[in-house]
Amino acid sequence: MKPDTQTHKKKRALVVGNRVAYMRHARTTLAKAGYQVVTISAFSAALMRMASDRPNIVVLDVCDPHQDVSALLGRLKSNASLADLPVIMMSHKTISCSRVGRRSFSSDR
């Protein structure tokens, strides 16, 4: 009897950010939870990767000073094939980082 490939297929996570400590922590945590982890530093590359090889979950650094998290979420949620993709927003900094205070994030976009 052939094993069910869906049951044995490893879940995939895409981690997006450019800070070494954040990427290392996210990769280690997700790998321990059974995910195959891909890390990408540029949001534009992340969108292309999601479209060509859809992950099971996406993890974003909300305090990345070089990228606009709101814009990425907007583009992600406006794409019909990716709109239902679960997104976790985290950072290795405290939640009081200045960008979070000035931005409004919504999963309903």
For residue 18, the SS3 value is coil
Instruction: Output the pLDDT for position 101.
Output: 42
Give me 90's structure tokens.
């985290």
Q: Give the whole-angstrom CA distance, residue 58 versus residue 29.
A: 13
pLDDT in tens, 37-79: 999 988 888 888 998 999 999 998 877 777 778 888 888 889 8
Instruction: Output the pLDDT for position 70.
Output: 81
> Looking at residue 10, what DSSP letter applies?
P
Q: What is the pTM of this model?
A: 0.75
pLDDT band of 92, cuts 50, 70, 90 = low
